[in-house]
Amino acid sequence: MKANTHFAFFDEGSKKEIRRATLKAVAIPGYQVPFASREMPIARGWGTGGLQLTLSLIGQTDVLKVIDQGSDESVNAVSIKKLVQDTTGVQLTECTEEADIIQSRHRIPECSLTKEQILVLQVPIPEPLRAIEEREYMTKRMHAEDDYSGAWLMLFEQIMKFGKTATTADHPVSVHDRYVMAPSPIPRFDNPKMDHSEALILLGAGREKKIYAVPPYTSVKSLAFEDYPFTVESFEGAHCHLCGAEGVFLDELIDHEKGATIYQCNDSAYCIEQLNKQEKVEVESTYA
Amino acid sequence: MGYVPVKGGTQAIDASIKRVKFERLKGQAILEIETILSTMRALVDQVMSESSLYSPQLAALAIKQAEGSMEEAVFLMRAHRSTLPRLYYSESVETDAMFVERRISASFKDIPGGQLLGATYDYTHRLLDFNLINEKKADNTHWLQSYAEELQEVKVEETVERYPKVVEYLRKEGLFEQYEMDNTEPEDITKQNLEFPASRSARLQVLTRGQTGALTSLAYASLRGYGEVHPTVGEVRVGSLPIYVKHPNEEDGSEDEEFYIGDIQVTEVESFVPVHVKNENNEEELEFEIGYGICYGQNETKTIAMSILDQCLEHLNDEFPTHDEEFVLLHIDSVESSGFISHLKLPHYVTFQSKLDSIRQVKKGVQVNES
């Protein structure tokens, strides 16, 4: 009665169908391609969209990295990695440069990706117009008619209310000057990394049954007005208390002994790499 | 003999009852209450929560009798609940006194006291485990032994520490409002009718008794777009709470005079919800509020859903059904909703005949007019 799981969990037919939707997504940047999202052995809303993309793409020689909230060690990242490895036997890595496929939730790694890599982002709500219009039928029509007035109005209303745009993560972007797209809930800080990215970026929403993509070297503009330009999260004057990095996305932590706020690189792999580099320099200097 | 609803159906009904008993017995296997208690924790918890009667033994019995049907088991428990005298109200419980088995925050990595994963399916892969087909008692005993050995190597803390609430840290920063303790006696919706607008205590009671699936669906709808609340889970905790009652005749109110009557296991959730508020200058500002959920046993989805709906109902809004108090509170009860839906199986011959008549009459009228 016990059946062996197929390579990469899915049957080949399912993989083919997901790849076909992916190809369409790449061909129409930012357009949400519907697909028959499969039930996965992890919960809907926990990254099944990303996981389906990863499983449909991965081959035996690929090297996989999974990040959740900037960390390779995060519980859900560990769980997803384990599932992919159990069903494929691929090599896992925490080093961003070594990975061919990087599946991530909420972050784009700090070091820039290359054209050899594919970034798979997990998306909870792919529809950038959902807050403006709850009906799928209507949002689809709005996309078709290039009607993004609602999205612009949302930003305008924020300026009227708060004196500035007050979007959080998932600030909408315009892809290839056509489709407005939810960049998955990455912080605004990561939005600019999508613009003319060398790596292919695939976005998968399992529960909402959509796949969309940013092909390499494609323009991605965060929606903003000329007089109220797009801004990212500010970490002015803050640096990582471990590696000293500035200009990266930082986590706010509390030093329990002193009660003070300290900062730490959110991208844990990047932080470790910085620390290793520093140690190398120290070691070399002592030898000299 | 056919089923005639008005008369002569007695024999048919007896036969039907016998038949349902036969369905439960025909497999010749007996499910012990003990087996349900030790292997169907989630089902037991859900039944207790929806029937608002904390008794694992009775819930297990109800599950056995109902052949595992949630709605039947809850129905049985609620009916039994009506036969029980309600003697005391317990003293109010402070949940920071909870003996915590699981506690996580999705808002902060670094919560004071730390994250405690406890027992959860969240990080398991939902792959059918075919090994369970041939599960052996001896293997389980062996596994339990080695698990106990593993645990012996774990260092035990000397002291029992209280886990502070995550929200307290944010309160200190002024991100959450500081509220006065509200110690007014809560309304008991099982003793008086629900009135609108409902008090918060009544609302929370309806929500915590509500059907897991109904709560989950409505909260999901709110989250997905048919509502305005999208929270971040500040804290989920699962653990047991000690319950005390006062001596009925001694009124001096000292805590030493209270009786400890046992522990209940609960799941508690505090969700952080950003809301728009107006400040003194009538300018809009963003602020966090808390959505609250609590229910018997370990049922995290239900409790999180409850916290969303609690927040929805704090901000009534005609535009969205999930922000409409009557819509939510009157429709999420398992016994009420399943009861009324299933009443449709009762004969409606008279009313249907009447409908049939008026439809025929109207159609006739239309034809006459057209000709």
Q: Can you tell me the ipTM of this complex? A: 0.72
- Measured CB to CB, residues of chain B less than 8 Å from chain A are 109-110, 112, 117, 122-127, 130-131, 133, 169, 224-226, 276, 283-286
Cβ distance A78 to B276 less than 8 Å, yes or no, reads no
Residues of chain B found within 8 Å of residue A78, distances taken between Cβ atoms: 123
Instruction: Flag if B127 and A5 touch (Cβ within 8 Å).
Output: yes
Q: Which residues pair with B242 in a beta bridge?
A: B263
Q: Per mean pLDDT, which range of A62-76, B174-188, B299-313 is the poorest?
A: B174-188
Burial of B349 (0-12, 13-18, 19+ CB in 10 A): exposed
Q: Between the CA of residue B9 and those of A174, B6, B321, what are the distances in Å? A: 69, 7, 43
Q: Is A240 a catalytic residue?
A: yes
Which whole number is the average pLDDT over A47-67? 96
If pLDDT is split at 50, 70 and 90, which confidence band does A288 have?
low
Dump the DSSP string for A109-173: -SSPP-TT-EEEEE-S---TTTTT---HHHHHHHHHTT--HHHHHHHHHHHHHHSS----SS--E
Percent of chain B with pLDDT over 70: 95
Catalytic residue among A30, A47, A50, A204: A30
**Which residues in chain A touch residue B109, judged by CB atoms under 8 angstroms apart?**
69, 251, 253
| Displacement of CA B105 from its chain's centroid (Å) | 21
Mutation choice for B interface testing from A78, A105, A125, A249 by most B CBs within 10 A = A125
CA distance A203 to A22: 9
Are B284 and A161 an interchain contact pair (Cβ–Cβ within 8 Å)? yes
CA distance A42 to chain B (A): 5
DSSP label of B191 = T
- From B112's Cα to the closest Cα of chain A, the distance in A is 8
Closest by alpha carbon to A247, among A262, A261, A266? A266
pLDDT the model gives residue B274: 86
pLDDT digits (tens, 9 = 90+) for A264-280: 999 999 999 999 999 88
CA–CA separation, B112 vs B282, rounded Å?
36
Tokens for A250?
């930082």
Quick one: pLDDT at residue B252?
67
Closest Cα in chain B to A126 = B224
Residue A237 falls in the annotated catalytic set: no
pLDDT in tens, B51-66: 999 999 999 999 999 9
pLDDT tier for residue B370 given thresholds of 50, 70 and 90 = low
Q: Indicate the pTM of the whole model.
A: 0.83
The identity of residue B136, as a single letter, is K
Q: Please indicate whether residue A243 is annotated as part of the active site.
A: yes
Contact B123 A125 (CB under 8 A): no
Mean per-residue pLDDT for A118-127?
A: 95
Catalytic: which of A49, A59, A243, A259? Answer: A243
What pLDDT, on a 0 to 100 scale, did the predictor assign at position A170?
92
Residues A186-208: what's their mean pLDDT? Answer: 96
Lateral strand order in the sheet of B259-278: B99-104, B232-245, B259-278, B284-296
Q: Are B283 and B245 spatial neighbours (Cβ–Cβ below 8 Å)? A: no
Closest Cβ opposite residue B126 in set A5, A41, A130: A41
Shortest distance between the Cα of A103 and any Cα of chain B, in A, equals 17
Of A3, A83, A130, which has the smallest distance from its Cβ to B225's Cβ? A130
State the catalytic residue, choosing from A47, A50, A206, A271.
Answer: A271
Residue A69 touches partner B, C-beta closer than 8 Å? yes
What is the rounded distance in angstroms from the CA atom of residue A174 to the CA atom of residue A129? 12
pLDDT value of position B369: 56
What pLDDT, in 10s, does the model give residues B212-268? 999 999 999 999 988 877 889 999 999 999 999 988 777 666 777 789 999 999 999
Residue that wins the pLDDT comparison between B300 and B157: B300
The whole-angstrom separation of Cα A187 and Cα A249 is: 9
Mean pLDDT, residues B86-102 taken together: 89
For position A195, what pLDDT does the model report?
98
> What pLDDT band is residue B347 in, cutting at 50, 70 and 90?
confident
Tokens (6 digits) for B365: 């009228």
Q: How far is B72 from chain A (nearest CA, A)?
A: 27
CA gap B270, B307 in Å, rounded: 7
Q: How confident is the model at residue B323 (pLDDT cuts 50, 70, 90)?
A: very high
Please choose, from the candidates A32, A189, A202, the residue with its C-alpha nearest in 3D space to the C-alpha of residue A107.
A189
> Identity (one letter) of the amino acid at A69?
Q
Determine whether A265 is an active site residue.
yes
pLDDT at A88: 94
- What is the structure's pLDDT at B4? 47
**pLDDT for residue B29 is more than 60:** yes
Q: How far apart are CA B167 and CA A262, in angstroms?
A: 19
The predicted structure's pLDDT at residue B80: 92
Residue B247 gets which letter from DSSP?
-
- Binned at pLDDT 50, 70 and 90, residue B351 comes out as confident
Do residues A184 and A169 touch, judged by C-beta distance below 8 A? no
At residue B1, the pLDDT reads 42
The answer, yes or no, to whether the previous bond of B197 is cis (omega within 30 of 0) is yes
Enter the DSSP assignment of B116: B
The phi, psi pair for A102, rounded to 5°, reads: -120, 110
* Per-residue pLDDT tens over the stretch A133-158: 888 889 999 999 999 999 999 999 99
Is A111 among the residues known to form the active site?
no
Each residue of B139-181: pLDDT tens digit? 999 999 999 999 998 888 888 888 888 888 888 877 788 888 8
Marked catalytic residue, from A206, A240, A247, A259: A240
